[in-house]
Amino acid sequence: MRVVRIYIDHVLAAGDEIALPAQAATHAVRVLRLRAGDALTLFNGDGCDYDAELVLASPRDVRARILDGRRAETEPLLRITLAQALARGEKMDWIVQKATELGVARIVPLVTERSEVRLDAARVDQRVAHWRAVGIGACEQSGRACLPDISAPQSLETWLASVERSDDAIRLALLPAGEISPHDLDTLTNGAILAVGPEGGFGERDIVALRAAGFHGLKLGPRVLRTETASIAAIAVLQTLHGDF
């Protein structure tokens, strides 16, 4: 039986009765056809799932009573940060969605040497809000109870300067001429930071900067993959070899 999961940006606790926000209420009643007495699971990104039941399901007011809360067991063993160069059209949405489903902890959109997508200041907040909504939907579908941290787009140089030197996570940049393969990696107990270039790949200046910041070139087989394929394939491989797959 499918479990209906709905994200609520609100503190949740057993015994509370809470009104669902308008968008979630519409989805629950009009799309999912839920009625009073139906069970559902609420989550707010704190890592817990909250069993609940609808106590009111009218067109103007949808309310749920929280019965119990429990720690979710869906967060991955391997903490992955995906630094993804901005992709065109709906590709970025697709990457955010699938990376969230695969358990990525953080997504950093990047502007690189060969990036074709440039966002002006007026659009940045709108796009970040949109990507976060995509991530929430992916969490609802996949069973995750922690939302990925999705940063505002920034230049590769700015991001590299912010990466803490004390971070022991291995640093990997997807490069067709990379010197290592996933099978060369030891157990990634401290996590991984994965950098993926745009449609045209990382430029020479990008590669120099990544190397200077301690990134190793990672190669995924003999074929050149599209950016949206490469990022998701790499995450899946890392989760298979060192995560919870």
CA atoms of 200 and 209, how far apart (whole Å): 17
Look at 100 and 3; give whichever has higher pLDDT: 100
- Residue 1 pLDDT level (bands cut at 50, 70, 90): low
Tell me what pLDDT residue 88 has: 86
How much is the mean pLDDT over the chain? 92
Look at 1 and 83; give whichever has higher pLDDT: 83
Of the candidates 131, 73, 143, which has an alpha carbon nearest to the alpha carbon of residue 106? 131
CA atoms of 16 and 64, how far apart (whole Å): 8
Q: What is the pLDDT of residues 34-66, one digit of tens each?
A: 899 999 999 999 999 999 999 999 878 899 999
Task: Answer whether residue 122 shows pLDDT above 70.
Answer: yes
Task: Answer whether residue 233 shows pLDDT above 90.
Answer: yes
pLDDT mean over 140-162: 95
